[in-house]
Structure 1
């Protein structure tokens, strides 16, 4: 009987099908990607560019918003007189002292309220009441209580700063994983050991969020208090310029406040990345 040779690669008279390789799908990048070098400066640079283009094209009235080079010239004149440095130093001192007091008080209150039910019952209510009352609305009362000197200005900044630090730190403390608490009890950690090794590290993300808000709020409060019978500071310089219609000086003050806020936030974010280097986030 004759034997029929089948073509190679076939079985039972059926031609084999060649397997088609599946296309390799590239993974979709869901995160924001790697940080852009000096990315924090791109947005402000675009604002300055729009300002320059508006001044060159005539879209911006010099009587309403002076050109950037006019503002720079005014800042140089004030620096040459020594007026800018002295007032800037005064503003920095006020903001630094008020920020330090507010952050310290807010952190202590958050720890008391976040680690104790009794502390929460005593502390949380008054802080929430303060949160609902704008700090600027308290200035007339603070003037009656503390006068119009430096003490009132520092108290206003402190009262404005402590709220975001308290709110964010307290929320993060309440969000600490209960398993860590049980583990601390199992290994026999003392109260101080639990605070130092579990509570404080666990509350750091919320604390830094509150600190970033506090830095910005400290400058906002400073702008207001320096216009209340102040005799020095950037706000005082702007108030004097408003009296004499010196718009360029007012813009110099606004630019300084903006730069202080920008670099203050940048410093806190840098500190946050170093302190929380163990945490992997989308920002990494």
Structure 2
């Protein structure tokens, strides 16, 4: 056995630091759950004490009971699946177009000249304010809901893709070209890793905007979906069902953001950023 193959024994301080680093992620996950749980407890307490009237804001226990009842009836699952389908299609269409056009505008000068000006002009228009015009163009059926989600997802992905590509240090591209890398290799080894952080930020913003757009779209002459369930509950003064719909929307947004953050952490494992102390 050579001298270089022998690893020095860790000191007690090093072993303590290793154990602390292993426990830190689990402790951080528990800390992130403290505030939401505390808010729910305070909410339930205020409802039971009569501070929050049930016709204005139902207690969490009543919302949970309504969710259990609708799930047992099957109504909740049908509306949830319809909403998820609209969200997936809209996010795929809007995000795909944003990625394609952002890449063209960021990589090509002619793309920047032809694509970016009209996109920047359209970005200034509130896409939810286009509902009356979209009603004329695509009607009040499924295309309206999907179009709203696609519009909500398009601009964050486009802007962050464009910004991520343009923010890459030109010296890195020149160094790759000097080393003999082809255009495809430069895209893979320089442009893509450099733009990925910005692209993931755009995806997270796109998911948030997409869920917001879906809430509005499903309340315009829908016959299924979480938004339709909430509007129908409002007609019968079922506040607990309305709150249930909002909670489900929030959970869907939280889960999608968590999935993106996990994917980002794995895709960008090589990057070391500032950690909160």
TM-score, normalisation: structure 2: 0.87
Question: Which of 29, 33, 52 pairs up with 2:44?
Answer: 52
How far apart, in 1, do the equivalents of 2:120 and 2:82 lie? 31
Q: Deviations over 1:129-169 (max 9, x none)?
A: 22111111111111111111112211111111010111112
How far apart, in 1, do the equivalents of 2:34 and 2:273 lie? 22
Query: Residue in 2 aligned with 1:115?
Result: 107
Q: Deviations over 1:92-118 (max 9, x none)?
A: 111111111111111111110111111
Q: Does 1:90 align with 2:68?
A: no
Query: Residue in 1 aligned with 2:259?
Result: 267
Query: Residue in 2 aligned with 1:22?
Result: none
Q: Does 1:219 align with 2:206?
A: no
Q: Deviations over 1:183-207 (max 9, x none)?
A: 1221232222222221111100000
2:222 is paired with a residue whose SS is coil
Between Structure 1 and Structure 2, which shows a larger proportion of helix residues?
A: 2
In structure 1, stretches of 5+ residues that fail to align are 1-33
Question: Which of 210, 220, 237 pairs up with 1:245?
Answer: 237
Query: Residue in 1 aligned with 2:197?
Result: 205
Equivalent pair of 2:55/2:237 in contact (CA under 8 Å):
no
How far apart, in 2, do the equivalents of 1:39 and 1:107 lie? 35
In structure 2, stretches of 5+ residues that fail to align are 1-23
Residues 165 and 42 of structure 1: is their aligned pair in 2 closer, same or farther, counting only changes over 3 Å? farther
Aligned residues: 251
Q: Does 1:236 align with 2:228?
A: yes
Q: Which has the larger radius of gyration?
A: 1
How far apart, in 2, do the equivalents of 1:208 and 1:253 lie? 27
How far apart, in 2, do the equivalents of 1:199 and 1:280 lie? 18
How far apart, in 1, do the equivalents of 2:178 and 2:35 lie? 50
How far apart, in 2, do the equivalents of 1:62 and 1:95 lie? 31
Equivalent pair of 2:101/2:158 in contact (CA under 8 Å):
yes
Query: Residue in 2 aligned with 1:166?
Result: 158
How far apart, in 2, do the equivalents of 1:250 and 1:259 lie? 14
Cα displacement (A) at 1:39:
4.1
How far apart, in 2, do the equivalents of 1:44 and 1:99 lie? 28
Q: Deviations over 1:69-110 (max 9, x none)?
A: 111111111111110000001001111111111111111111
Moved beyond 6 Å, runs of 4+: none
RMSD over aligned Cα atoms: 1.4
How far apart, in 2, do the equivalents of 1:50 and 1:130 lie? 43
How far apart, in 2, do the equivalents of 1:109 and 1:40 lie? 37
Please show how residues 131-170 of structure 1 align to structure 2 within 5 Å. Answer: 131-170=123-162
